[in-house]
Amino acid sequence: MVTVEALGYIMPEIVLAIGAVVVMLMIAVKRNAILTNVATILTFIIALFFLINQPQQDVNVTNLFFVDSIGRFLTGLILCSAIVITIYSLPYFKNQKELKEEYYILLILATLGSVCMGISNHFVSFVISLELLSVSLFALIGYLRHESTSIEAALKYLIMAAVATSFILFGFALIYTVTGKMDLQGLTSFSSGSNMNFIMLAGFAMTIVGFGFKMALTPFHLWTPDIYSAAPAPVAAFIATISKGAAFVFLLRLFYNLGGLQQESVWIAFAAIATSSMFIGNWLGLRQENLKRLIAYSSISHLGYLMVGFLAISQDGIRSSMFYLLAYFASILAIFGMITYFSGKKGELIKIEDYRGLFWSKPWLAAVFTVIMLSLAGIPLTAGFLGKFYILTAGMGTGKIFLLIVLAVSSTIGLFYYLRVVAVMLSREESSIGEHIGSNSFMLKLAMAVLFVLIIWLGVYPSSFLQMIGI
């Protein structure tokens, strides 16, 4: 039964659901892009307020949700990222011809889906939140509906996501066949060691394939560059951060509860996926001329690093992957913020060449850009470095030496392309950047400044954030 007390723990989700309805009604009464944007940000802030004021306990809210410290941390992270993305959206959609208001309903719904996914404790709640997230994303990717590239990207994502979902569903069905349980705590009580038969392994395999698609791990990454390059920059930021983070956390819960990682074959499958993601992500990024595609490959390799923390199978592993998620969210949001910042009348500047000579015309922005790139590459004093450092420590603690070597080698390869972007910006030539939307949006500048400070702060003094993770 649901008690009033238990409802208090899912207040953030309830607020988001109500917020979506309120925003919809507001649009019906009066269309105003700025007002809708403010209402959306307010919704997220109220949800965040309820989240912060929750008692720090692990609570089951019915069978479907389980609110614990990981769930709380992820919810907070998602809500903060959603606020940043909403801030990006206002100036970005200002110079588009579309109706701008419905975008925010979809954004709130997608956020609601990913927040629910982070705390879901049951196959049913997971599937529902996954659908809430992906169906909103189809519409968000194809939001600029008069451009055929945008529709093409949305359709590609639709087919890919639907196939991935059906893989996950079939995998769940097979796991359910063997165990007879659908809630994760019930699955924990099922001793996996003795009853590991073929059906169970097939279920694991299909679940891994499905999650591989959702988190864009190699060899299931092929959709990523296309979608990133065609989706509007704020939406691409959403896909790269929030939807992947939520899927990762559920994967973590599922496999830590099921105990599947103790199986040699499952562990090796994950290790192979992580290794190939790290190498292929960094390798394919090397020849990219398109900045958004480059970020796509970068995010593939970053998810590979994240899997190393997942594969450590320890409390330290969870903690380090949560910290890594934080660092990754900050860096990716910042880089998409930059792309939003520089997009102008002609659309986004997505070629790396477009940024040639930026350092000599806009030194401050170029400096921020450089720091973001260094953070993605994992240079000391930035968030990315400490993220990798904690992942390495966690891996070292449980003796996963092979994965650590792969991580170190592949991130060295990746360093080249991040630094190439910096080199292009530093080259002494006339900058071709004309009018851009960032110059007259105070909120966008503020968001960029906050993210910049966060990246440096995470890299220099992480202990306060580690306390926040509190696992």
Partner 1 sequence: MSNLPIEAGLILSGLLFLTGLLGVITRRNILFMLMSVEIMFNAAGLAFVLAGAQHGQPDGQVMLIFILAMAAAEVAVGLALILQMNRLQKTVDTDAMNQLRD
Residues within the interface to partner 1 (CB under 8 A): 123-124, 127-128, 131, 134-135, 138-139, 142, 145-146, 148-149, 151-156, 158-159, 162-163, 165-166, 169-170, 172-174, 176-177, 180, 182, 199, 225-226, 229-230, 288, 290, 293
Quote the CA–CA distance of 124 and 358 in Å, as a whole number. Answer: 50
Smallest gap from residue 140 Cβ to partner 1 (A):
11
Closer CB to partner 1, 223 or 323, in the complex: 223
Among 462, 449, 278, 280, residue whose Cα is nearest residue 385? 462
Beta bridge partners of 67: 59
Phi-psi region of 30 (alpha: psi -120 to 50; beta: other; left: phi over 0): beta
**Alpha helices by DSSP H, 312-400:** 315-342, 358-361, 363-377, 383-397
Closer CB to partner 1, 181 or 445, in the complex: 181
C-alpha angle with apex 308: 466 to 66, nearest 5 degrees? 60
Closer CB to partner 1, 173 or 408, in the complex: 173
Closer CB to partner 1, 70 or 247, in the complex: 247
Closer CB to partner 1, 176 or 360, in the complex: 176
String of DSSP letters for 253-274: HHHHHHTGGGSHHHHHHHHHHH
Smallest gap from residue 102 Cβ to partner 1 (A):
13
Closer CB to partner 1, 228 or 359, in the complex: 228
Closer CB to partner 1, 124 or 468, in the complex: 124
Smallest gap from residue 343 Cβ to partner 1 (A):
18
3-state SS class at 449: helix
Among 240, 259, 133, 252, residue whose Cα is nearest residue 187? 259
Q: Which two tokens stand for residue 124?
A: 């049913």
Quote the CA–CA distance of 407 and 417 in Å, as a whole number. Answer: 16
Closer CB to partner 1, 280 or 386, in the complex: 280
Smallest gap from residue 176 Cβ to partner 1 (A):
5
Burial of residue 111 (CB within 10 Å: 0-12, 13-18, 19+) is buried
Contacts of 453 (CB under 8 A, 6+ apart): none
Smallest gap from residue 292 Cβ to partner 1 (A):
11
Closer CB to partner 1, 165 or 393, in the complex: 165
Among 121, 119, 126, residue whose Cα is nearest residue 54? 119
Closer CB to partner 1, 79 or 209, in the complex: 209
Smallest gap from residue 284 Cβ to partner 1 (A):
9
3-state SS class at 55: coil
Smallest gap from residue 350 Cβ to partner 1 (A):
12
Closer CB to partner 1, 133 or 469, in the complex: 133
Q: Which two tokens stand for residue 137?
A: 């994303």
Dihedral, 393, 397, 400, 404 alpha carbons, nearest 10: 10
224: enclosing H helix or E strand: helix 224-230
Smallest gap from residue 173 Cβ to partner 1 (A):
4
For 233, list phi and psi in degrees, rounded to 5. Answer: -55, -45
**Alpha helices by DSSP H, 64-218:** 69-94, 102-119, 123-141, 148-179, 184-189, 198-214
Closer CB to partner 1, 79 or 184, in the complex: 184
Sign of the alpha-carbon torsion through 353, 93, 86, 103: negative
Quote the CA–CA distance of 302 and 304 in Å, as a whole number. Answer: 5
Smallest gap from residue 341 Cβ to partner 1 (A):
23
Quote the CA–CA distance of 124 and 265 in Å, as a whole number. Answer: 27
C-alpha angle with apex 113: 108 to 119, nearest 5 degrees? 125
